[in-house]
Structure 1
Amino acid sequence: MLMWLALSLGMGIASALIPIIVLEAYVLAVVLAQPQLPWWAMGLVVAVGQVAGKLLYFYAGRGDITLPKFLRRERDPERPKGKWSVRVDRFREVCARRPGWSYSVMLLSATASVPPYAAIAVIAGVARVSLLNFVSACLIGRFARFAALAAAPALVSGWLL
């Protein structure tokens, strides 16, 4: 059982970094193949892996991680700000004034992936959302998502039998 949880932690991290990995399919496959695995443990381990992986996106958005040259734009200080720079600045202000709103958006994204969770991880970094708010909202949301998914086969089989 411990091996499956360790593998699931790794898959959570990998899926956070490589968007083509469908973690939901992996979770369902594992809980169907290993019914003795507790649903809450699977949900927790996968959530921790996902949030750990998305922290790289968050830190990249904040500018704490130096991206390769082809992914960054050098800004000319003499050039006036463009409309996107102005919008990002305005968004930062809204997030600073209304932390409950930004927390709710991150929680919704982590749970339902609307707006997309990968995008929210970067945007939260750009908006300078606090690390505690980012991690707590994402852990709660990701746990709810994957724990429900891990519990679904047992719930459905109980209803059908």
Structure 2
Amino acid sequence: MSGLLEAVIALGYGFASAVVPLVNAEAFAVVAGTHGSHVAVAVLGLALGQTAGKLLLFESARRATGRLARRIARGPRSARAAARASRWAGSIRRWLSRRRTGLPTVFVSAATGIPPLAAVSLAAGTADLRRCEFAAACLLGRVIRFAILALPLALA
């Protein structure tokens, strides 16, 4: 398979895996590592696709912040549960809105998967985190994650 075709497939697969939870990007990275011909291209394409998909989640949450907050507030909960959810969402939003805590959280989430990057992407979209900083931290973390999965297999 040519490097360009592999990059396009990895990019599309990465985007799909960022949006559809059943599509597993880590499995793609492992398979790309076992084939080993263009593993760096596959890792980069996969990371770029994942970052683009997570930016879509980020922007969706950013544009729907007011509606999302109203929907969470009026959900079928007791007043106590609604207050607890509101406090939790507020503290997460404050945590992610600070550059010194928000960017490392996005990076660690992208590199390790803990906390889940999809949830962090949505929460970061509601916070005041800058789009380009979110994308850079996400891309760097994803490249590291996929390289750790694929490169040992390619070198073996």
Q: TM-score range by the shorter chain?
A: 0.7 to 0.9
How far the C-alpha of 1:132 sits from its partner, in A, is: 1.8
Matched, 1:85 2:83: no
How far the C-alpha of 1:75 sits from its partner, in A, is: 5.8
Matched, 1:21 2:23: yes
Instruction: Determine the C-alpha separation between the residues in 2 that align with 1:9 and 1:42.
Output: 8
Structure 1 residues 148 and 73: alpha-carbon distance in aligned structure 2, compared to 1, 3 A threshold: same
The structure number with the bigger radius of gyration is 1
Q: Residues 93-134 of structure 1: CA distance to partner in whole angstroms, max 9, x if unpaired? A: 3433x3111111111000000111111111111223111221
Instruction: Determine the C-alpha separation between the residues in 1 that align with 2:66 and 2:51.
Output: 20
TM-score (norm 1): 0.78
**AA of the residue aligned to 1:82:** A
Query: Any unmatched runs of 5+ in structure 1?
Result: none
Counterpart for residue 13 of structure 2 = 11
Instruction: Determine the C-alpha separation between the residues in 1 that align with 2:116 and 2:40.
Output: 24
Matched residues, percent identical? 33
Counterpart for residue 154 of structure 1 = 154
Structure 1 residues 154 and 66: alpha-carbon distance in aligned structure 2, compared to 1, 3 A threshold: same
TM-score (norm 2): 0.81
**AA of the residue aligned to 1:136:** A
Say which structure is richer in helix: 2
Instruction: Determine the C-alpha separation between the residues in 2 that align with 1:46 and 1:58.
Output: 18
RMSD: 2.6
How many residue pairs match? The answer is 147
Counterpart for residue 144 of structure 2 = 144
**Matched-pair contact (CA < 8 Å) for 2:18–2:53:** yes
